[in-house]
Amino acid sequence: MTKTNNVSSPVIKEVSYNKNSIDELLSSLGTNNKKSELLLDYPTVYIIHDEEQSQKYTVYVGETTDIRRRTNQHLLEDPNTREDWNQLSHAKDARMFVIGHPHFNKSLTLDVENQLMMYLLSVDSITQINNRRTNPQNQYYTADEMKPIFSKIWRKLHGYDANLFPLESIIRDSALFKASPFHQLTNEQVLAKQLITDKIELAMSRPEVGQLIMVEGDAGAGKTVLLSNLFYDLNEDLLSQNNFSEASPHAYLLINHEQQLKVYEQIAQKLGLTRLDEKIVTKPTNFINNHTSENPVDIILIDEAHLLWTQGKQSYRGKNQLQDLLKLAKVVIVVFDQHQVLKTVEYLEADQINELERQSKDNGNLIQLKNQMRMDANLNTIDWITDFVFNQAIKTIPHDAKYELKIATNPQSLQNEIQKKAKDTESNKHGLSRVLATFDWKYVNQKKPEDGSDYWYVSDGDWSMPWNLQLPRTRKQNQAERGLSWAEQPETINEVGSTYTIQGFDLNFAGVIIGESVKYRNGHIIFDPAGSKDKTATQKRTLSDGTKARVAEDLLRNQLNVLLTRGVHGLYLYAVDKELQQALLNAANAQHRLE
């Protein structure tokens, strides 16, 4: 692959965005014929931004083969048909960056445009992005130069405005970036998307409701990116309509996960999807309570469908959220991982899962994503984690030049290493790293401990850290971090995350404290409900035959699976159970120990 240092630098000029833009651009170029040629005669990418309030921006990203013609079109013609361009044309302080490069061609500028939209979507200070295309390119002559050229463009833009263009490492750590609809899909995801869109097109021509499309895949298989891309593309056409505020949206996105809900709400807000419907992203119970089978919608997409409730709870009075939702839409697309069911209220029996799979498969609607895209680890490391969780066996930790799998000798060394990694924000391999734990220490949300302590703690001996969502946030932090997931908030480096705050998200490095619900006895791992403080996993569940049963071991196994598959570049483990801790240390040679 072409190295960044071997790629020439881009040419970037910033000018006012108004009727004098081109004259100002020409003046800034002076007599430099080479730069003039790159910006005026070659393909270019451009960014128009308006600071609507203090450090809050509206942004448009585009590409063109003629910046003079395109600028005049945006200023004189587009305001007559689109409100976003009308607002930009009347903005007093709007600015425009024009970006050129000697190797720009149509495919490369489209790729850079797409990458800019993906990055800018993740910037906290940007409230709205007005370009609505997703156009990542496949192979072309200079495709191998895209990443190094883009990095040089972004660094140069960062020099102009660090608030509008933060460090790349900060962008890539963002949950918005990881769930962005602008990611280039893998071949496996492209085939899945094509099958889904074909099925939707056929379903729209028929009166029936309740067609189920099921997308399965383990943690890190790319389910969320596929769903986000579908959600955006299915609604994109409506955004180009003049009266789209009165239109009924094609697709709703539902999720039962509070942290992931924040991410999708931001995506919908920044890309203008909330103008189709303020509740285009919502929780399943809210959707069920506000829709009827007499007026079904076109499409429902459900992320983390394994979190749907399979019994009544709180304001949900039904018995199965998925079955209720199938009555409210022509097509329901779910992404599902049976190994991420965490609570009894979500529990599905094996026969029930098999029936959903059979129903989908019989209609050609069962899609299985098999590529592992989260963990940058070799297959032996992934197999080691799979054996640990599902086969309840501890094997010798394999060598892996790409992935750090280490056993900490005490929880303090684990915490120290995670905090060290978190400070290394300049590196794409470090940065967003957090301590996590099994739910084996008491925690009651929004209540103080009975002993008068300020916080609920995860502890072992003299070591302790507060559980998540407890450390005080200033008013300024609350405003700035309102839409951020738990792990993205800076003070959470001093907290311990649970399965419920980290599920669905990536970390660069995850440090996992394994509590008393996971033990090692007689040569294998056991899951002990008595060691758990998570009543939502350990209470009995009424099965389909009316009997009550404990399904805690399955749920505790799934909870451990979620925790151990968060780290992209590394996983550090410490076990409170002495026999488990010793078995882990015995499996580790010197390079796999964290002293």
Alpha carbon 132 to its chain's center: 19
Yes or no: say if 570 and 403 are a contact pair by the CB < 8 Å rule.
yes
Type of residue at 311? Q
Which residues face 59 on adjacent strands?
A: 49, 129
CA-to-CA distance for 300 and 326, rounded, in angstroms?
9
Yes or no: say if 497 and 508 are a contact pair by the CB < 8 Å rule.
no
Helix 106-121 with 146-160: angle, nearest 10 deg: 50
- What is the structure's pLDDT at 477? 55
Yes or no: say if 417 and 594 are a contact pair by the CB < 8 Å rule.
yes
CA-to-CA distance for 28 and 22, rounded, in angstroms?
10
Q: What is the DSSP letter of 494?
A: G
Question: What are the φ/ψ torsions at residue 578 (nearest 5 degrees)?
Answer: -65, -40
- What is the structure's pLDDT at 33? 82
CA-to-CA distance for 370 and 341, rounded, in angstroms?
19
Type of residue at 472? P
CA-to-CA distance for 213 and 335, rounded, in angstroms?
9
Closest by CA to 25, choosing from 17, 15, 34, is: 15
Calculate the dihedral angle through the C-alpha atoms of 55, 56, 57, 58, rounding to the nearest 10 degrees: -170
- What is the structure's pLDDT at 2? 40
Type of residue at 153? I
CA-to-CA distance for 276 and 265, rounded, in angstroms?
13
Q: What is the DSSP letter of 186?
A: P
Q: Record the pTM.
A: 0.86
Sequence-distant (≥ 6) Cβ neighbours of residue 77 within 8 angstroms: none
- What is the structure's pLDDT at 355? 92
* pLDDT values of the chain reduced to their tens digit, one per residue, 595 residues: 344 456 788 999 999 999 999 999 999 988 778 889 999 999 999 999 998 767 788 999 999 999 999 999 999 988 888 877 888 888 888 999 999 999 998 889 999 999 999 999 999 889 988 875 666 666 666 778 889 999 999 999 999 999 999 988 889 888 899 999 999 899 999 999 999 999 998 888 888 999 999 999 887 788 999 999 999 988 886 665 544 444 456 799 999 998 899 999 999 999 989 988 899 999 999 999 999 999 999 999 999 999 999 998 888 999 999 999 999 999 999 999 999 999 999 999 899 999 999 999 999 999 999 887 788 999 999 999 999 999 999 999 999 999 999 999 999 999 999 999 988 654 444 568 999 999 999 999 888 898 889 999 999 999 999 999 999 876 555 544 556 889 988 889 999 999 999 998 899 999 999 999 999 999 999 999 999 999 999 999 988 888 988 899 999 999 999 999 999 999 999 999 999 999 999 999 999 999 8
Type of residue at 368? Q
CA-to-CA distance for 480 and 56, rounded, in angstroms?
11
